[in-house]
Chain A
Amino acid sequence: MAEKHISIIHPRPSSIVAALYTLRDLNVDVAILHGPPGCSFKHARLLEEDGIHVLTTALDENGFVFGGREELSSLLQKTNEMFNPKLIGVVGTCASMIIGEELREPIQDADLDVPVIGVEVHAGYPNNTKGVLIALESAEDIGIIDGEELERQRHLLTEATNVEKRHGAASKEYLVPSRGDVKYKVAGRIIELLKDGKKGVTIMNAKKETGYMFADISVAVNEVAKKLGKEENIVNMANVDDSLGLPRVRDHAKNIMAGFEKNGTIIHENIGGMDEYPVTGELVTGIIKEKYADYDFAVITGVPHAIPMDSFSGMEVISVTNGPRQVHPLKDMGHKYVVVEIDLHPKTLGVNEIVESEFGATIRELAKDMLD
């Protein structure tokens, strides 16, 4: 079947940035952007908060005309002296790729003992997952990951792209960003449902480090249920399998699971690795059909649009996303309430434990008012 082709006109994540995040997941110590000084600045800064060094060859007008082979090889040498890294990544940019810059030669020129992953990527791909893929292929080229993991990731990326096309940011030519429903109102509704003895499932289906904050919502719901003595009415699912994915991603799963345990939140169903958010849908549907078909409501966080709606027939669905452009597609799917955790991602970088979410905090505060 021919794929439906739409030309999307809202701004979207960049493949260059996707490659940078992938290098971080591969645990590079330094990522070098080969291109103009301001390219991907905002994310470069965030990644510094996440513990890796990000540098730029800062190509200027001269660099565009004469190329930057020497700039890159000397920056690689400087990087080696300054940070004593164990693994380095180099990422292309639009400017350097258009003028035909080649990363392999300057990497050879630098002649370091440290492995260097050269990622020849620009931002001109319709799906930013292409940046992840190119980064992973480049990592496999120099033996940082094996072919099996590459294939696994390739499959997940294809599915992630499909999820976005079906019900996500790539589902329409233009999506209006929205702040979603008022948190106060939705928190009130959850407390009411719990008070009325309704049975609910929480599903954290989070993408990698974003789980540090989405997990807090599951925890908050459980805290309120406990307060009401209705703990047994809540079932929790989360994608926190720590045996899957790139090293850093496994660590996130470990840390978040430890957080759940610390808070006394029992995860009844572990639905996959933290990079498996695009493929958990079928499993979740099966589990619900088998065990929880008679439940009254569901609170889905992370990438809620990856879970098909037919899992929830007869349930009131409340979802929490960090994408303002995700609100309308989720409403279209049939979610009754959609809450946006604005600026979630920056707050989940550089942390290794569950961090408070605005929605979680709202639930807790409101529960005090309503129940105490």
Chain B
Amino acid sequence: MGEKKIIAIYGKGGIGKSSTASNVAAACADEGYKVMIIGCDPKSDSSITLLGGKRIPTILDLMRQKIEIKEEDIVFEGYGGVQCVEVGGPEPGIGCAGRGIIVAIQKLSKISKSMDDMDLIIYDVPGDIVCGGFVAPIRKGLVTEAYILTSGEYMPLYAANNICKGLAKINTPLSGIICNSRTVTREEDIVGKFSEEIGSNMIAFIPKMQIVQDCERDGFSVLEKAPDSEIAEVYRGLARAIMSNNSTVMPKALADERLRELTR
């Protein structure tokens, strides 16, 4: 197996980052890779579909109780042996979630031995990078590759474009664009074009399928609950694309005008 991959998937809030991350994690695990998923959203729902709908204690939950944390307290095995971790966060509107992410991932790197054995680590980061803490995984040199998830709608593309600016600023390369379809007109075309113009490429087009939602509602990934579905095959394709991807670029963000033209 090749070098260890540590990736983060960025994109507008609500665009499907957690769904994609958990399905990719499951697909990679099916392929025999050792995978860890680290949920960095205070909502702590990145790994829920890998754990049959169960929530796990978060790193910050335990830190709050001031107990000495061991790896087995925060790293849980989910579907296909995927190692699941949730950072957690303070109550909404109180304290500092950004600082929480920084402290929690420091703690995790310090106590987790299994991280070293992984083939793929996925940081599932919140969509809105509202402060420094939310880019801490990247800033602290933990993440080596970034992917951006978007649909063909204007707002998600606008967010994607902004993330490109951000990545260039913090000197993190982009490994590709993933289109999570919302079934809008000429979507594949638009996202393909956008990817090309920023200097990257679209590595997967995930069609909108009700079955993803249905599985999620039951607390599962499609890989686990509907392995023979068409969409499961799409995630397998994406998983292979990520694991074999060697091309990264420093993205060039588009001017807002060009972005509007693209989506018109």
Alpha-carbon distance A98/B98, docked complex (angstroms)? 11
Q: Which residue of B lies closest to A60 (CB)?
A: B66
Q: A62-B64, A62-B66 are in contact. Are A67 and B103 (CB under 8 A)?
A: no
Stretch of B74-82, B89-97, B212-220 contacting A (4+ beta carbons < 8 Å): B89-97
Instruction: Give residues 68-110 of B contacting A (CB, 8 Å).
Output: 89-91, 93-97, 99-100, 103
Instruction: Give residues 27-77 of A contacting B (CB, 8 Å).
Output: 61-67, 69
Alpha-carbon distance A166/B89, docked complex (angstroms)? 48
| B-chain residues with CB within 8 Å of residue A67 when the two chains form the complex | 90, 94-96
Q: Which residue of A lies closest to B133 (CB)?
A: A65
Contact A64 B96, beta carbon cutoff 8 Å: yes
Alpha-carbon distance A18/B207, docked complex (angstroms)? 61
Alpha-carbon distance A99/B99, docked complex (angstroms)? 9
Q: Judge whether B63 is part of the interface by a CB distance below 8 angstroms.
A: yes
Smallest beta-carbon distance A57→chain B, Å: 13
Smallest beta-carbon distance A61→chain B, Å: 6
Alpha-carbon distance A66/B96, docked complex (angstroms)? 6
Q: Which residue of B lies closest to A98 (CB)?
A: B96
Q: Judge whether B7 is part of the interface by a CB distance below 8 angstroms.
A: no
Contact B63 A62, beta carbon cutoff 8 Å: yes
Q: Which residue of A lies closest to B101 (CB)?
A: A65
Q: Judge whether B231 is part of the interface by a CB distance below 8 angstroms.
A: no
Partner of B103 from the list A61, A69, A98 (CB cut-off 8 Å) is: A61
**Contact string against A for B residues 4-32, beta-carbon threshold 8 Å, 1 for contact and 0 otherwise:** 00000000000000000000000000000
Contact A64 B99, beta carbon cutoff 8 Å: yes
Partner of B100 from the list A65, A98, A100 (CB cut-off 8 Å) is: A65
Smallest beta-carbon distance A106→chain B, Å: 12
Q: Which of A62, A66, A98, A100 has the most CB of B within 10 A?
A: A66
Main secondary structure of the interface of A (DSSP, over half): helix
Q: Judge whether B60 is part of the interface by a CB distance below 8 angstroms.
A: yes
Q: Which residue of A lies closest to B102 (CB)?
A: A65
| B-chain residues with CB within 8 Å of residue A98 when the two chains form the complex | 96
Smallest beta-carbon distance A184→chain B, Å: 54
Smallest beta-carbon distance B92→chain A, Å: 11
Q: A98-B96, A99-B96 are in contact. Are A66 and B90 (CB under 8 A)?
A: yes
Contact A69 B94, beta carbon cutoff 8 Å: yes
Contact A66 B103, beta carbon cutoff 8 Å: no
**Contact string against B for A residues 274-310, beta-carbon threshold 8 Å, 1 for contact and 0 otherwise:** 0000000000000000000000000000000000000
Alpha-carbon distance A61/B66, docked complex (angstroms)? 11
Q: Which residue of A lies closest to B104 (CB)?
A: A65
Contact B99 A65, beta carbon cutoff 8 Å: yes
| A-chain residues with CB within 8 Å of residue B100 when the two chains form the complex | 65-66
| A-chain residues with CB within 8 Å of residue B97 when the two chains form the complex | 65
Q: Which residue of B lies closest to A67 (CB)?
A: B95
| B-chain residues with CB within 8 Å of residue A69 when the two chains form the complex | 94
| B-chain residues with CB within 8 Å of residue A62 when the two chains form the complex | 63-64, 66
Alpha-carbon distance A67/B100, docked complex (angstroms)? 11
Smallest beta-carbon distance A14→chain B, Å: 22
Alpha-carbon distance A61/B95, docked complex (angstroms)? 11
Alpha-carbon distance A313/B150, docked complex (angstroms)? 75
Alpha-carbon distance A64/B96, docked complex (angstroms)? 6
Alpha-carbon distance A163/B89, docked complex (angstroms)? 47
Alpha-carbon distance A67/B94, docked complex (angstroms)? 6
Alpha-carbon distance A100/B94, docked complex (angstroms)? 7
| B-chain residues with CB within 8 Å of residue A64 when the two chains form the complex | 95-96, 99, 103
| B-chain residues with CB within 8 Å of residue A61 when the two chains form the complex | 63, 99, 103
Alpha-carbon distance A65/B66, docked complex (angstroms)? 13
Smallest beta-carbon distance B57→chain A, Å: 15
| B-chain residues with CB within 8 Å of residue A63 when the two chains form the complex | 95
Alpha-carbon distance A99/B90, docked complex (angstroms)? 11
**Contact string against A for B residues 103-145, beta-carbon threshold 8 Å, 1 for contact and 0 otherwise:** 1000000000000000000000000000000000000000000
Alpha-carbon distance A62/B93, docked complex (angstroms)? 15
Alpha-carbon distance A61/B100, docked complex (angstroms)? 9
Alpha-carbon distance A64/B90, docked complex (angstroms)? 10
Smallest beta-carbon distance A98→chain B, Å: 7
Q: Which of B66, B91, B95 has the most CB of A within 10 A?
A: B95
| A-chain residues with CB within 8 Å of residue B99 when the two chains form the complex | 61, 64-65, 99
Smallest beta-carbon distance A182→chain B, Å: 50
| A-chain residues with CB within 8 Å of residue B64 when the two chains form the complex | 62, 65-66
Q: Which of A61, A64, A65, A99 has the most CB of B within 10 A?
A: A65
A residues bordering B, Cβ < 8 Å?
61-67, 69, 98-100
21 contacts between A and B (CB under 8 A): A62-B64, A63-B95, A64-B95, A64-B103, A65-B60, A65-B63, A65-B89, A65-B90, A65-B97, A65-B103, A66-B95, A66-B100, A67-B94, A67-B95, A69-B94, A99-B95, A99-B96, A99-B99, A100-B93, A100-B94, A100-B95
The 4 closest A-B pairs by CB, nearest first: A67-B95, A99-B96, A65-B100, A67-B94
